[in-house]
Amino acid sequence: MASVRALKKDIDYLLSLVVEDCIYVMKTHAEVDKEKVMDIARSIIVKHRELRLRTNHPDGKDNPKLVKAYYKAVVTELYASANQSLEQLTALMSK
């Protein structure tokens, strides 16, 4: 990880892409249940807020190894939540 600032930008960028995909699906696919797509977008917005707060307040500030492991867990959760939301969106589109 390069810096906390870069991590925050990555969180913003990646999760905003997922929200954009949700909006795109609602606009282009009339057969998709819009309420379920909105639920996915809402969960991403909540996850965005949670990850940004966690990034601002790391555990174990005195121990660099703990801080590195903490931020690594944040990054892993970021990728997992984005991937899960995109899989849910794909499942809705294939119905």
Task: Residue 22: give the domain boundaries.
Answer: 4-94
Q: What is the pLDDT of residues 63-78, one digit of tens each?
A: 989 999 999 999 999 9
Task: List, as one string, the DSSP characters of 17-63.
Answer: HHHHHHHHHHHH-TTS-HHHHHHHHHHHHHHHHHHHHHHHS-S-TT-
Tell me what pLDDT residue 78 has: 97
Spatial separation of the C-alpha atoms in residues 91 and 94, rounded to whole Å: 5
pTM: 0.90
Crossing angle of helices 64-94 and 34-56, rounded to 10°: 170
- Domain total of the chain: 1
Helix%, strand%, coil% for the chain, nearest 5: 85, 0, 15
